[in-house]
Every structure is written in structure tokens, then in C-alpha cells.
Amino acid sequence: MFDNQTFQALVEANGLTGEVVASNSFIIEVKGLEGVRLGSQVLFEDGQRGMVREAYADKVILFNIDSEKMQPGTLAVVQNDVLSVPVGKELVGRVVSAMGEPLDGKGPVAAKEKSGIFNPAPGIMARSMLNEQLASGVSAVDMFFPVVLGQRIAILGDSKSGKSTFLSQLSASQEGTDRVVVYVLIGKRKVDIEMLLAGLRDSGAMEHTIVVLADIFDSLTQSYLAPYSACAMAENIWYGGRDTIIIYDDLSSHAEAYRQLSLLQEIDPGRDSYPGDIFYAHSSLLERAGKLLTTDKTLTALPVIITPNDDITAYLSTSIMSITDGQIIFDLGLFRKGIRPAVNAGLSVSRVGGQAQTGRQKRLSSTLFKKLAKYKQAEEFSHFGSSLSKEASIDLQTGKLIYAALQQPPEERHTLATQQLILETLLLGEGELEFDIPALKKEATERSAEAKEEADYDRIEKELLKKYSSPIKIVLKAGEKAPVTITGPEPGIKPPKTETEAEMDEAARKEKAAHAKS
């Protein structure tokens, strides 16, 4: 039950007051509150809260933060000039609502500070160049599309294509660092929320993570506010001197909630029925990420977008791609083929990833891209059932080894050094050797701490190649003949004659002998 002493105190302190005259779901019309600022936080006498959305000469339009139920005649008073949430390191390890209220049963949040949620992004002169890689622990991302601390990179894909699994792996990989992860869940089902929270707890990631939750049964207003509230929590830790990563899972649900609120306001819908300012809503949020010039600390933003039927050309996904510095696309088709993680190497890109890589890492990434391109070409030729050339066979074998090394279950994570050792060792085989991939991964993980200099990598990789590689064995089926490779004659050696050529030569020899006798 709400104790209205707070309400009475605000009224007695001459706060701006008004009266509810109409309500339409989450949209409330209040008469009074003259001179109120947009974005102000309003408290109603029944304990519910609202946010000022529009102000006119004779009325004010608010979003109801707590529920759809509001009785006409309810009194309202301005509680704060800005909508604010609790912030601070005390939130780390907790699960909270979009308004910072505890949802994990661990008691009240002991945060001592509060912050507005619609904060401006740092100016260009306050920013620094991005130059340090954020290791996700997933080889298919770190080696091909490296994420940089302070970057904004979109995570796109259809439902159930492995996006949340990858983000959980990335969160868990920050263990042992001083980084904090802020994970925002917007419009999710209870079962999905429980699975994610269980995964974060099991991996130990919850120890350095703040989870901000607005599930599908919460108010539309909280689903709309959740990413801004979470960003305010992340900014406080970032400005306090720690690298922070914020995951928006997902902005498709956020846009849907905002669309519904706008339609309830009777605002004319724009493209795909989204509000006309949906691009601003997301760009103003994502622009808050970056790297500070004063402290060199970073806020990395990873917005998630659902792409039904793997269509990345829709309005929302293309808008997010235009705001961010790259995108990692998860392909449902690849996922169904058993390729995990199902990263689409042809469409994904990290526009600033190369700035954080060493020369050796850049050479490895370039080589891997070329090898996989040749593998795709050789794979297409192999479907015709004809014999492949030696070069095509090597390309096919190399590609299969690379894909086998990139396969990672959710609980498997590798450091950047481990990933380099595994993949460079495979490339040393030049497609003519077989490898014991699980054993290679295990020892590369154990020995990655030894790799400090270029010479260390070369030495360890040669030892791993010798220990875990073997010649390719050709297994023949019953009645099948071994493949015969037909090559041209060596220089200076005449090829053997055919039967026809031999018969012609014999006839010519007999004719010459008969002519000599006569």
C-alpha cells in the first residue's frame, strides 16, 4: 500500500499540482501543472508515477509509468524536474526495473546517487580514438569482426539464431577484468528472462553485471524507458573511471513499445507505422557511447535487432546499421545447419575493428577471409560430383578445418591468444593434414599464457602442428577404386604411346624392312 506522506509533503512544499481529467491506457491528460518542464517526473496521490510528454496552455499529457489504470479526478504533483533513477556501483550484481527498483529479492538497492535518464552524449572534443579490442571469447567474432571498446556495433538476426547466447558469452568473458556489463532486457518472455539470468549466474557473469528488466507484462512506458535508464546507470560507472559495456536486448521491442505509445497519443505514424522520431530515439541513445579523452575509459554499446526471415533490409535494421560502427549478423539458416555461432561472414562487418588489431592479427584475419572464400567456391564445385583438382581439394579441407575450429558451444570461450594459436596452427597444415581439433584447442588454451612475442607464437604453433596433425587418410568404400591423379609428362620425358600409335609404328617398321630386302 502506498504511503501518501511523500505526496502530501510535495504539495505542502508548493509543488506544481494538477488533476487527471482523462486517461487512455498509458496516456494521461492532466489539467493544471502550469509551467511544468517536459520530461518531469510526476507523482499521483495513489502512488503511481508519470512522465510529462507534452505541455499545452490548458493541459499536460503524461505517460503513466506504472500501469494502465488511472481514475479521473486523481490529483498529481511534480516530484522532480527530470525523470531520474538510482545509479552507482551498488547496482552491480542486481536485477532492477526500469525505474531502478529491485526485482531479485535481495532487499532495497543501497544506491546513494540519482541521475536523469535522458542525458546528452559527450561532445566530439571530449572523445578519444578507439584502439583497444573487446574480447568476446568467440573466435568467429574476435578474429573476423573484432569489437573495439567504445564502439557501437549492432547484433542482428532472426529469433533463436544465437544472439543472446553470444551476448552471454561476451558478458562472461569480462570476468577478471574491471569492466561492468549493463544488460537491458526489453519486452522479453518470463522463460527467456529466467534462462538468461540462470546463464549469467552459472558463468559467474552476474558478479560484474547489472540487469535492467522490463518484461512483456510490464507497462509500455517502462519498456520505452528501460534503455535510457540503463544507459544512465552505465554512464555513472563510466564517468566514475571504469570501462562499461551496455547490451540493449532488444531495440526491436523498444521500438514496438514506443510505436504503441505514439499511436495511443494519436500521433501520425511514419514509415512502417513507427513514430517519425524513432531514428532520433535510437540515435540519441547510441551516441552516448564512446571513449572519454580525460580518462581513456569507454562505454561500448551493443544494440540487438530482430530481423524476421533474415531480412536485414527492413526500416528498423537499416536505421540501426546507419547509426552504428558495424554489425554482426546471425543467420538462422546457418544455425539450422549446425554452425554455432551462426555468424554470417559475408554480411557482417566491423568498421573500426582493424584499429585495435596487431599486424599479426590483421594478416590472420585477411588470410582466413581468403581461405573461406576459396572454400565456398570449392564446395560449390564439389556438388557436381566430378573429381576436384589438388588445389580445390586443399581449399575444401582447409575450410572444413577452419569451420570446425570456429564451432563453440555456449560454455566454451577463448582468449585472443588462444584463438590465434588454434587458427594459425591449422593454416600451417596448408590443407594437407588432419587435426585433432578438441585436443589442439585444449593445449592451445593451456599454453596461450606463454605467447608474449612473435617468436613465441611461431615456436608454440610448430610444436602444436607436430603434435596434433597427421596425414589425411583416404577411406574407400566397398568396390571403390582409389582416385587417380592424371598429370602431364615431366619436362624432357616423352609420354607413353597409345595402342593406335604403337600399331602404326609397327606397320611402318615392317614396311621399311620389306622395302630394304627388295
Residue 285 to residue 41: CA distance in whole angstroms: 20
What are φ and ψ of residue 2, in 5° steps? -80, 130
Q: Which residues pair with 329 in a beta bridge?
A: 156
Q: Which residues contact 463 (CB under 8 A, 6 or more apart)?
A: none
Residue 400 to residue 470: CA distance in whole angstroms: 16
| The length of the chain, given as a count of residues | 518
Report whether 36 contacts 16 (CB < 8 A). yes
Which is nearest to 212 in space by CA: 262, 249, 255, 165?
A: 249
Report whether 160 contacts 340 (CB < 8 A). no
Report whether 424 contacts 457 (CB < 8 A). yes
The three three-digit cell numbers of residue 427, written as one number? 593454416
Q: How many CB atoms lie within 10 A of CB 344?
A: 20
Q: How many CA atoms lie within 13 A of 426 on its CB side?
A: 29
Catalytic residue among 351, 363, 413, 509: 351
DSSP 386: P
Residue 423 to residue 364: CA distance in whole angstroms: 8
Residue 80 to residue 75: CA distance in whole angstroms: 16
Report whether 150 contacts 354 (CB < 8 A). no
How do beta strands 147-148 and 298-306 pair?
Answer: unpaired
The three three-digit cell numbers of residue 177, written as one number? 577484468
Residue 262 to residue 276: CA distance in whole angstroms: 10
Q: Which residues pair with 323 in a beta bridge?
A: none
What are φ and ψ of residue 84, in 5° steps? -130, 160
Residue 430 to residue 395: CA distance in whole angstroms: 9
Residue linked to cell 498509458 = 26
The residue type found at 499 is E
The residue type found at 443 is E
Please confirm, yes or no, whether 351 is among the known catalytic residues. Answer: yes
* Whole-Å CA distances, 155 to 301, 366, 392, 462: 10, 22, 34, 36
* Whole-Å CA distances, 90 to 52, 114, 198, 245, 444: 29, 12, 21, 17, 38
Which is nearest to 330 in space by CA: 313, 348, 342?
A: 342
Which residues participate in catalysis according to the annotation?
A: 351
